[in-house]
A and B are shown apart, each in its own frame.
Chain A
């Protein structure tokens, strides 16, 4: 990426360019995390573990069957929550990653360029000039930060609620081994970051779509349709040959982190998938955004 500072003298120019880049990033983050709509979305994400925790706490007597008329398999971790509050975090991440988290990511990332274009602020940023590649890099970085922030928030709230409502202690992993509470928390952190990477990859798709339109709602809807369609396709066993290539396929593979030993191949596949999606869609976004006519 070109961050050459045109005004600064050659000596220390690189340093100045980085400082100016960080200054714009700070402005972008303040805008992203200060926007009321985004704060409401984060509040919704944080409300889910609270509701889940309360429901499980006060209906624990009836939680033995998992619902007679249900579809048979209750979400993973559901039965463990009442025994150990830490599992509320794993449960929440599984529950939110199917729809709510992708929705929030779609709203923020689909809006990133299209929203600026729609408001008209894009033409002012570009005539400053912010630099098209530079602005795109800033937008992508802010999107990644938002995805990470959202996942960390969900985990943190879930752990806090779990600790208040349920007993907390050493964590029994999926493989049957028991690890200390500290190691359990460390594994939860890695799970959270893994899911953040998954969301950042979806965010790259959102960023790319966002460069093609000046209607943020259209971009948001498109990202969401892609996420949902991918999840549906992932559940149709007849086409399982394409499953590994779907953007959502590896999202729940984070349970590989909850085994001894950790299932690295599974995890590696997931991270590779996220990285490839991010690279491909960032390239598309760059190719489009650096040549597009800004007429809004």
Chain B
């Protein structure tokens, strides 16, 4: 490559590969004005003949808790590994905190904490020594403050009392928390957590969930992948849903809920008559179940339907417009095989 003149630099500017130490130039290419913590355009990964991630456009606003959902094998972990520079995309581009990846990995990753596919540490070392090992690997970490930062991180995840224990003696919940502590060794602008509650008991799940809430409360953007709907429902403000390598939905949790087609439920003794009225009004998917009749509401207002029912002489004992559950929405988005339990 020629070291050269300004003209040459233009053509080489974007060709910078995934080399080490290619600190991103402060050019306009690397400044992201849109305030996105994670932004990908057409991000894709092909493994031999299989498209693991098929051109996704992620947009994770700063300061949000973004739930990255999808069945097992839908490409979530592959996406996260690409975001962190562990694997090379075969297509598209990606920015972390406005910095192009993987070219800017050395510059941006110190500002990103992560937990990828479960905890992994040296079994013969204690929790504290394991964190010291990772801290030693960090070029941006000062050895003078290491001991204090390590203890603070351990304290934050409630492992300070068990800090001297060998990692192999840790329970799964403790291992998971140690992995989160590794992400907290430095102040982070973004935390990327891949299935942080995987394999945890309800108690452990609660602990991790409250930890994520605390991290988010400090202003850190949290990107958390999960296949557990309840988890996302409780902690996330934004959601992306993956299905077979494609991003089939992205938006706020409210927007996702709004997608659910509204239904109407009528409680009555005269179910046959009620069903006939709903049918006549043009409602689809009419079901009779015991003393209840349900149907897709479509564009009609529920009160108009009620008036019609009463007008037709149906004794209406109760009327409801149940919202589709999050789970129904997911099944709708990701297809029937959704693996709720993992």
Contact = CB atoms under 8 A, between A and B. Distances in A.
Contacts of A134: 20, 139
B105 interface: yes
Contacts of A1: 20
B182 A129 contact: no
B131 to A, nearest CB: 10
A295 B182 CA distance: 20
A86 B341 CA distance: 68
A20 interface: yes
A249 interface: no
A35 B137 CA distance: 19
B18 A35 contact: no
Given A24-B137, A127-B116, A129-B85, A31 B122 contact: yes
B116 A123 contact: yes
Contacts of B140: 5-7
Interface string A1-28: 1111111000000000101100110110
B87 A4 contact: no
A295 B110 contact: no
A31 to B, nearest CB: 7
B256 interface: no
B117 interface: yes
Interface residues of A, number: 39
A124 B131 CA distance: 11
Interface string A112-154: 0000000111011111111111110000000000000000000
B18 A123 contact: no
A127 B87 contact: no
Contacts of A123: 81, 84, 86, 116-117, 120
Interface string B85-126: 111100000000000000001110110101011111110110
Given A7-B110, A7-B140, A27-B133, A294 B122 contact: no
A24 B146 CA distance: 13
Contact of B138 (A31, A36, A128, A291): A128
B106 A24 contact: no
B120 A119 contact: yes
A134 B20 CA distance: 9
Given A119-B120, A129-B105, A129-B109, A17 B86 contact: no
Contacts of A6: 23, 106-107, 110, 139-140
Contacts of B116: 123-124, 127
A130 B21 contact: no
A31 B124 CA distance: 9
A160 B20 CA distance: 47
Interface in B124-152: 124-125, 132-134, 136-141, 143
B258 interface: no
Interface string B144-184: 00000000000000000000000000000000000100100
Interface string A284-296: 0000001101110
A121 B120 CA distance: 5
Contact of B20 (A7, A125, A131, A295): A131
B322 interface: no
Given A23-B143, A24-B136, A4 B21 contact: yes
Interface residues of B, number: 39
A31 B133 contact: yes
B21 A131 contact: yes
B19 interface: yes
A286 to B, nearest CB: 10
Contact of A291 (B88, B106, B110, B137): B88
A292 to B, nearest CB: 9
A16 to B, nearest CB: 9
Nearest to A293: B87
A127 B139 CA distance: 12
A262 B140 CA distance: 49
Contacts of B18: 290-291
Contacts of B112: 127
Contacts of A291: 18, 88
Contacts of A3: 21, 139
A119 B88 CA distance: 21
Interface string A169-180: 000000000000
Given A6-B107, A7-B139, A293-B88, A124 B120 contact: yes
Which of A20, A24, A129, A133 has the most CB atoms of chain B within a 10 A radius of its CB?
Answer: A129
Nearest to A25: B136
Contacts of A119: 120-122
A127 B86 contact: yes
Contacts of A135: 137
Contact of A120 (B19, B118, B143, B182): B118
Which of A2, A20, A124 has the most CB atoms of chain B within a 10 A radius of its CB?
Answer: A124
A26 B88 CA distance: 30
Given A20-B143, A129-B109, 17 more contacts: A5-B139, A6-B106, A7-B140, A20-B138, A20-B141, A31-B125, A35-B124, A123-B84, A124-B116, A127-B114, A128-B109, A130-B139, A131-B20, A290-B18, A293-B81, A293-B87, A294-B86
12 contacts: A2-B21, A6-B139, A27-B133, A31-B125, A36-B124, A119-B120, A120-B117, A132-B20, A134-B20, A134-B139, A291-B88, A293-B88
Cβ-closest 5 pairs across A and B: A120-B120, A2-B21, A7-B140, A293-B87, A130-B137
